[in-house]
Amino acid sequence: MKVIDDKAQYYISKLQLAPHPEGGYFKEIYRSSEIYEEEYLPERYSGKRNFATSIYFMLAGNDVSNFHCLKSDEIWHFYDGSSIVIYLLNKMEGLKKITLGKNLINDEVYQTTIKRGDWFAAELKDKNSFSLIGCTVSPGFDFKDFELAKRNFLSELFPGYESLIKRFTKE
């Protein structure tokens, strides 16, 4: 991942961001000390979960967040930099695009919620910049609840979106 913006490099250093498996950079900043026991959670979870978690997340330059899905809803909050386009795929609606940013006149939003089970990916609107956002998950994030999309699987699930899926999946 090549960082092309001095401000992006500043955030990576200052916030101690590290590479994320889906692409981009992240740092966990909150994990609730309270726990849901497994018997009080829906069956899709295996084990206990914290009430909530949050991270800083950043894309810079040509970085992308590859298609993935979670077992919990995830709220994305815009902080700084370029607008970021989020691509959502689900069986009911097909493709939906949301632009996270500060240009409200052009229908950008400061915050959006990605529903559990939706496949989603993201990229910068301005590839010469960066985007710093926050992500909040409840019940709290656990890598057991994270699935990075396999290209063939997602293409079979969503025929007609192969070129988009190819852009946002690793072989």
Residue 31: give its domain's CATH number: 2.60.120.10
The CA distance from 50 to 43, in Å, is 16
Per-residue burial over 53-68, b if 16 or more Cβ lie within 10 Å, else e, is bbbbbbbbbebbbbbb
Give the pLDDT confidence of 31-83 residue by residue, as tens digits: 999 999 999 999 999 999 999 999 999 999 999 999 999 999 999 999 999 99
Residue 171 pLDDT exceeds 80: no
In this prediction, residue 21 has a pLDDT band, given cuts at 50, 70 and 90, of confident
Listed in sequence order, the residues at least 6 apart from 24 whose beta carbon sits closer than 8 Å to its beta carbon are 1, 57, 58, 59, 60, 63, 64, 65
* Residue 1 covered by a domain: no
For residue 106, tell me if it sits in a domain: yes
Tell me if 14 is assigned to some domain.
yes
pLDDT in the model for residue 1: 45
Residue 42 lies in a domain: yes
Percent of the chain at pLDDT > 70 equals 98
Containing structural domain, residue 139: 6-167
Mean pLDDT, rounded, for 118-126: 96
Quick count: other Cβ atoms within 10 Å of Cβ 170? 12
Count up the domains in the chain and report the number.
1
pTM of the model: 0.93
Average confidence (pLDDT) over 5-18: 93
